[in-house]
Amino acid sequence: MLDIKFVRENKDKVKENIKKKFQDEKLPLVDEVVELDEKIRNLKQKGDNLRQERNSISSEIGSLFREKKTEAANLKKQQVVDINNQLVDIEAEEAEFSEKLKEKMMVIPQMIDDSVPIGHDDTENVEIERFGEAIVPDYEIPYHSDICEAFGGLDKDSAGRTSGNGFYYLIGDIARLHEAMISYARDFMINKGFTYCIPPFMIRSDVVTGVMSFTEMENMMYKIEGEDLYLIGTSEHSMIGKFKGQIIDEKNLPIAMTSYSPCFRKEVGAHGLEERGLYRVHQFEKQEMVVLCKPEEAMDWYNKMWSYTVEFFRSLDVPVRTLECCSGDLADLKVKSCDVEAWSPRQKKYFEVGSCSTLGDAQARRLGIRMKTENGNQYLATLNNTVVASPRGLIAVIENNYQKDGSILIPKVLRPYMGGMEKIEKK
C-alpha cells in the first residue's frame, strides 16, 4: 500500500506505474483516492475548528455561571451540545471515507523499481545469468514420477483416495531424500547467519491481507470453515505477520530469519494442478528466508538472497538460471522480483524452483511494522526468498543426478542426512 501523501503529490507517476503493469482498469482509482483524501482532510480541519470553538465556549460557560448569568450560560451549553452533535456526524463521515480510501489504496499496486523490464506476463521475463552447465545425457531420463515409483517412493493413487487430486505419499528413500534437502536447506541458511524459525501454519485474515493482494489471496489460500483462519501458502505470511503492529529499534535491524513450513495452495488459475506428477500440487514443504531491514539496504539484501538460492542448488549439482520478472508478472505488492529456475535434462529446459522479492514498505505499511529512528518512527522494508520448495526441488535433484543404470546419485552435501548413503538403488 502506497503512502497517500506520495499518491497525492505524484498522481502521474502512480498512473504511469499502473500502465507499466498493464492494469489500466485501476487508473480511475488514483483520482478517486486523491478526492477521498481531500474530503477527509477537509473534515479533519472542520472538526478541529469545531473543537477549538467548543473549548472556547466551554471556558466562557464557567465565567457566566460565576457571574450568575444563568440564561446566557445555558445558551452557551446548548451551543456545545450542537457542536458535539456536528462532531459526531463529521467523525462518522470521516470514518466512512477513510474505510473507502483504505479499500481503494489496497488495490493500487506498489511502485516498481526502475530496473524492472516492461512486459505483459511471465513469457516476457528476462534471463539474467546461468550457473552450471546444462547437460543432456546420452541416455533417457524418465518422467520424475516414474523414477520415484520405480523405487516405491511415490503413491498418488492412495493419496487420491484419502485426499483427492493434488496430493501424494512420498515413501522410503525418496521421502528421505526429500527431507534431507529440507534439513540441509535449514543448516545452509543457519550457516549464512539466518535465525531458524518454525512459524504457525495458520494465520488470521488481517495478516493475509497484510502480506498479499486480494487476487493472490483468492487464488491461493484455503480458509478454515467457521474460523478467522487461513492455511499458509508460504511461511513468509506468518513470518512477516510475526511483527504486525511492532516498532523495532533500527539498531536491531536487519532481522534475517529462515523458516520451515508445510504450504497449502488452491492452485486456482491458468496453471492448474498437475494430474500425474509433483510439479504443481496442493501441499508441499518449503524452507524460506525473510528479511526486515532499512529501506536503503533492501536492494543489497535482495541480491544476496537470490544468490544464496543459486549457491544452494549448485551445491546439489543442479544447474540453474535467474530470470528477471517483468512488470506484468509482478504481484501488486512487489517492487522487484526474480525467479531461480533449475535445469531439467528430461525436458531440456529450465523450470521454476524459487522466487526472490523485495516489497519495499508495502507489507510493513499494511501491517503497521515500523522502525524507531532518531527522526521518528518509519516504515521498514521486507523481503522474502525461497531457499527450496519441495517436491519441485526434489524433481530437480532426481533428474540431474539420475544415472544410466536407473539409480540416483545422492549429492555429497546430502549424504550426511541420508545416513552416509551415496546412491539410491532399486531393491
Domain ranges across the chain: 4-105, 122-424
Separation between Cα atoms, residue 349 and residue 136, nearest integer Å: 10
pLDDT at 272: 57
* CA 95 to centroid of chain Cα atoms: 29
The answer to whether the beta carbons of residues 387 and 402 sit under 8 Å apart is: no
Q: Which is nearest to 318 in space by CA: 147, 131, 126?
A: 131
What element of type H or E holds 418? none
Instruction: Give the rounded distance of the alpha carbon of 292 from its chain centre.
Output: 13
Q: How far apart are the first and last CA of the chain?
A: 56
What number is the average pLDDT over the span 232-242?
Answer: 95
Tell me the pTM. 0.91
Q: What percent of the chain has pLDDT over 90?
A: 85
Nearest to 156 by CA among 165, 86, 55: 165
Cα atoms found within 13 Å of the Cα of residue 52, Cβ hemisphere only: 6
At residue 69 the predicted structure's pLDDT band, cuts being 50, 70 and 90, is confident
Give Cα 144 to chain centroid, integer Å: 29
* Mean pLDDT, rounded, for 7-27: 97
Say if residue 274's pLDDT is above 80. no
Longest dimension (CA), the chain: 108
- At 262, the amino acid letter reads P
- Listed in sequence order, the residues at least 6 apart from 208 whose beta carbon sits closer than 8 Å to its beta carbon are 217, 221, 230, 237
188 pLDDT exceeds 70? yes
C-alpha to C-alpha distance for 207 and 186, rounded to whole angstroms: 25
Count how many Cα atoms sit within 13 Å of the Cα of residue 248 in the half-sphere of its side chain: 21
DSSP per residue, 55-71: HHHHHHHHHHHHTT-HH
Give the number of other Cβ atoms within 10 Å of residue 274's Cβ.
14
Mean pLDDT for all residues in the chain: 94
Q: Do domains 4-105 and 122-424 have the same CATH topology?
A: no
Whole-number Cα distances in Å, 32 to 12, 101, 242, 308: 14, 8, 33, 42
Sheet containing strand 247-249, strands side by side: 247-249, 370-373, 376-379
195 pLDDT band, cuts 50/70/90, is very high
For residue 38, give the DSSP letter: H
Cis peptide leading into residue 254 (ω within 30°): yes
Q: Is the pLDDT higher at 140 or at 271?
A: 140
Using alpha carbons only, give the angle 195, 240, 255 rounded to the nearest 5 degrees: 35
For residue 257, pLDDT beyond 60: yes
Query: What confidence tier does 314 reach under pLDDT thresholds 50, 70, 90?
Result: very high
Residue 266, C-alpha cell as written in the block: 488452491
Superfamily of domain 4-105: Serine-tRNA synthetase, tRNA binding domain (1.10.287.40)
For residue 319, is the peptide bond before it cis, meaning its omega torsion is within 30 degrees of 0? no
Q: Residue 239's closest CA among 132, 136, 384, 111?
A: 384
More confident residue, 424 or 216: 424
Query: Cα angle vertex 317, ends 302, 137, to 5°?
Result: 130
Look up the CATH superfamily of 122-424. Bira Bifunctional Protein; Domain 2 (3.30.930.10)
